[in-house]
Amino acid sequence: MASTCNLRADVTSIIWLDETGCQDVSHVGGKVANLSRLAADYRVPTGFCLTTDAFKQWHEDGRSIQMPPALWRQLSAAYAEMARRSGTEQPSVAVRSSAIDEDGRFASFAGQYETYLNLVGEEEVAAAVLRCWHSTGAERVTGYRERYGLALDNIEMAVLVQHLVPADSSAVIFSANPVTRDRGQVVINASWGLGESIVGGTVTPDTYVVNKQDLSVTESRVADKERMTVIVAGGTKEVPVPRFMRLQPTLSVEQLQAMARLAIALEEQVGWPVDLESAYSDNELYLLQCRSVTTLIDTEEGDKEHG
């Protein structure tokens, strides 16, 4: 049975990435606030966020398996606006959770909450939002929060709905070398298709090292990339990489340098090392996520305390 509650007039349930209100961590979480701040200066896919107010309304409504009707109408209107902005009648979107204490300086929550890709239609989007909200009680999430000394009750969750970029190639980029801790290097892990194969560890990506001073590519290890994540009807699928592409470099020197410049600029803007997810689609570079490299920050803070 559908809920009969209505959203209060003072509740801000949905905010677009390009609105200043989307930079309020208490309403949208660290992941979305970061992207909103960067969207004015970088090519970030358009999107909107269901805020913590929407989550609280759903929570107060008894954590239903359905979305409150008033919120459903707002989500439907936002999806229609997404269609207008993207020039697509039924845009494909990514739905990602964003906890309020996620993507802070010392706990990134990478991979702990839910992400759903290539959803089409407001009903699929609404179902994914509900799954993100329900994930706040997942065992892996509570374990992670315990490890970092974060609260286990009164968790608040925002959810980002973002136009999905049909990536030709994707990369995870570190503005400092996460292995050697060399702050003079940018490290790029890249593969074909969507970035989920890299993040999920199902492919051995190409690895490139770029010198920050002159943007020279000082190391290039081209892997045998056996798998790739691609868009299919109803979601995504891991498929074999065509044989002729497996040993081909994923990125050109020009693309590597563009990614390095992006990482350097973001590090300067944020103030500490970052790792970011990006993608090339039709030769356009998109910024998808940006997080702190928490291990490097931990080391630097420790050095200061014992120096």
pLDDT at 84: 96
> Are both 110 and 238 inside the same structural domain?
no
Do 213 and 145 sit in the same domain of this protein?
A: no
Give the phi and the psi of residue 198 in degrees, each rounded to 5: -75, -50
Are 199 and 159 part of one and the same domain?
no
The C-alpha atoms of residue 281 and residue 44 are separated, in whole angstroms, by 12
Q: What is the pLDDT of residues 102-148, one digit of tens each?
A: 544 444 444 445 789 999 999 999 999 999 998 876 555 566 556 66
pLDDT computed for residue 155 by the predictor: 76
Residue 203 has pLDDT above 70, yes or no: yes
On whether both 40 and 189 belong to a single domain, the answer is no
Q: Give residue 63's pLDDT.
A: 79
d(CA 191, CA 206): 6
Last residue of a domain, one of 111, 140, 163: 163
What is the pLDDT, as a whole number, of residue 304?
43
Residues 20, 140 within the same domain = yes
Same domain membership, residue 20 and residue 143: yes
Whether residue 162 is predicted with pLDDT greater than 60 in this model: the reply is yes
Which segment of 92-106, 143-157, 175-189, 247-261 scores lowest on mean pLDDT?
143-157
* Domain that includes residue 13, residue range: 2-163
pLDDT mean across residues, the chain: 86
Domain count, the chain: 2
User: Per 3-state DSSP, what percentage of the chain is helix, strand, and coil (rounded to 5)?
Assistant: 35, 25, 35
137 and 9 within one domain? yes
% residues pLDDT > 90 (the chain): 67
Residues in the chain: 307
Percentage of the chain with pLDDT > 70? 82
**Higher per-residue pLDDT: 147 or 191:** 191
Do 152 and 201 have their domain in common? no
Q: Do 123 and 263 fall within a single domain?
A: no
Closest CA to 29 of 119, 118, 143, 107: 107
Query: For residue 98, what pLDDT is reported?
Result: 85
Q: Residue 281: pLDDT above 80?
A: yes
Instruction: Give the pLDDT score at 105.
Output: 44
Angle between helix axes 122-134 and 69-86 (nearest 10 degrees) is: 120
Interatomic CA distance for residues 50 and 28, integer angstroms: 7
Q: What per-residue confidence (pLDDT) applies to 305?
A: 40
Q: Which of 140, 163, 186 is the last residue of a domain?
A: 163
Q: Which of 6-10, 56-60, 294-298 has the highest mean pLDDT?
A: 56-60
C-beta separation of 281 from 170 below 8 A: no
Whether residues 60 and 198 share a domain: the answer is: no
**Which CATH number is 136's domain given?**
3.30.1490.20
* pLDDT reading at 7 higher than 50: no
Q: Are both 31 and 126 inside the same structural domain?
A: yes
What pLDDT is attached to residue 112? 45
Average pLDDT over residues 62-79: 91
Least reliable range by pLDDT among 1-15, 21-35, 108-122:
1-15
β-partners of residue 211 are: 185
- Judged against a pLDDT cut of 50, whether residue 56 lies above it is answered with yes
The answer to whether the beta carbons of residues 116 and 95 sit under 8 Å apart is yes
Verify that 77 and 197 share a domain, yes or no.
no
How do residues 233-256 score in pLDDT, each as one tens digit?
889 999 999 999 999 999 999 999
Last residue of a domain, one of 104, 128, 163: 163
CATH of the domain at 238: 3.30.470.20
Contact 216, 226 (CB under 8 A): no
> Using 50, 70 and 90 to split pLDDT, how confident is the model at 270?
confident
- For position 136, what pLDDT does the model report? 75
Report whether 174 contacts 275 (CB < 8 A). yes
What's the mean pLDDT in 199-225? 96
Rounded CA separation 171/278 (Å):
5
Does residue 8 register a pLDDT over 50? no
The band of 151, judged by pLDDT with boundaries at 50, 70 and 90, is low
